[in-house]
Amino acid sequence: MRKRQDPPHFQGTVAAGRSAVSGRSNYIRQFGVTTFKVHSHFFALFRDQVKPLAVSAFRGSSMMGNPPDTMLSVAGGMIRQNSMSQQSMNNPLLFETDNPLEERLGKDFFDTLPTRPGVYKMFSREDLLLYVGKAKNLRRRLFTYRRVTSGSGSRKTRRLVRMVRRIAIELCSSEEEALLRENELIRTQRPPFNRAKKTPETYYYISAVPEGEALTFHLRMHRKEVAPEYVFGAFKGHRGVRRALGALLRQLYIVEKQIATPFLLPSRLLNRLTPLHYTLRITDQKQEQVRRFLGGKSDQLLYEILDHTDRHQLLEQFIGKLILKDMEALKSFYRRCALRNRHMVERLELDSHLIPQDKLDDYLVELAFLQREE
Residue whose C-alpha is closest to residue 197's, from 206, 212, 207, 184: 184
pLDDT at 216: 96
Q: How far is CA 151 from the centre of its chain?
A: 22
pLDDT band at 6 (very low <50, low <70, confident <90, very high): low
pLDDT at 98: 66
Share of the chain above pLDDT 70, in %: 74
Each residue's pLDDT tens digit, 335-366: 999 999 999 999 999 999 999 999 999 999 99
Report DSSP state, residue 25.
-
pLDDT, tens only, 239-298: 999 999 999 999 999 999 999 999 999 999 999 889 999 999 999 999 999 999 999 999
How do residues 56-95 score in pLDDT, each as one tens digit?
Answer: 544 444 444 444 444 444 444 444 444 444 444 445 445 4
Cβ-contact 94, 158 below 8 angstroms: yes
Q: What pLDDT, on the 0 to 100 scale, is given for residue 115?
A: 97
Instruction: State residue 290's pLDDT score.
Output: 98
Report all structural domains of the chain as residue ranges with CATH numbers, in order of start: 8-90 (no CATH), 101-189 (3.40.1440.10), 200-373 (no CATH)
Q: Is the pTM of this model over 0.75?
A: no
Alpha-carbon distance of 223 to 238, in angstroms, equals 16
20-49 per-position pLDDT tens digit: 444 444 433 433 333 344 444 444 554 555
Q: Range with the lowest mean pLDDT among 23-27, 108-112, 213-217, 272-276?
A: 23-27
Q: Which residue, 251, 231, 346, is CA-closest to 305?
A: 251
pLDDT, tens digit (0-9, with 9 covering 90-100), for 188-201:
999 999 999 999 99
Residue 118 has pLDDT above 70, yes or no: yes
User: What is the identity of the amino acid at 267?
Assistant: S
Give the total residue count for the chain.
374
Say which residue, 160 or 93, is predicted with more confidence.
160
Residues of the chain with pLDDT > 90: what percent?
A: 67
Query: What pLDDT does 54 receive?
Result: 47
Q: How far apart are CA 119 and CA 358, in angstroms?
A: 20
- Structural contact between residues 148 and 161, judged by C-beta atoms closer than 8 angstroms: yes
Residue 148 is predicted with a pLDDT of 87
Interacting residues of 226 by C-beta distance below 8 A, sequence separation 6+:
207, 209, 218
Q: Mean pLDDT in the chain?
A: 82
